[in-house]
Structures are given as structure tokens and as C-alpha cells.
């Protein structure tokens, strides 16, 4: 829970935003590895 008034709320918001951005990037990289393997230039479609 955020404590410390507006400063605590701002700090908690910043931490959650950073964690969210990092997780999105990690999930995206994992998905890319799963779909295309180690070759990111693999053709999509025909």
C-alpha cells in the first residue's frame, strides 16, 4: 500500500510503471524467441 501522502503515491506509481514497462519488454522478447527462434529475420507468411 502507498503511504506517505502524495509523495508515497507518486513513488508507488513510478515503481509500478517501471515494473510494467520491464515486464512488457521481457514478455515481448520471450514471445519473439518463441515465434521466430534465434533468427529474427525469418520470413512472415509465404
* Residue 26 resides in a domain: yes
Q: What value does the mean pLDDT of the chain take?
A: 81
Domain count, the chain: 1
pLDDT of residue 1: 61
* Residue 29 resides in a domain: yes
Chain centre to alpha carbon of residue 44: 24
The Cα-based distances of 38 to 9, 14, 45 in angstroms read 41, 33, 18
* Residue 13 resides in a domain: yes
pLDDT of residue 35: 77
- Read off the pTM: 0.55
The tens digit of pLDDT for each residue in 10-29 reads: 899 999 999 999 999 999 98
- In the predicted model, is pLDDT for residue 45 greater than 70? no
Q: Which domain holds residue 19?
A: 1-37
DSSP code of residue 43: P
- In the predicted model, is pLDDT for residue 46 greater than 60? no
* Residue 43 resides in a domain: no
Amino acid at each position: 500500500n502507498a503511504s506517505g501522502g502524495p509523495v508515497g503515491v507518486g513513488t508507488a506509481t513510478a515503481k509500478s510503471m517501471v515494473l510494467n514497462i520491464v515486464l512488457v519488454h521481457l514478455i515481448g522478447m520471450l514471445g519473439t524467441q518463441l515465434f521466430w527462434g534465434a533468427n529474427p529475420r525469418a520470413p512472415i507468411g509465404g
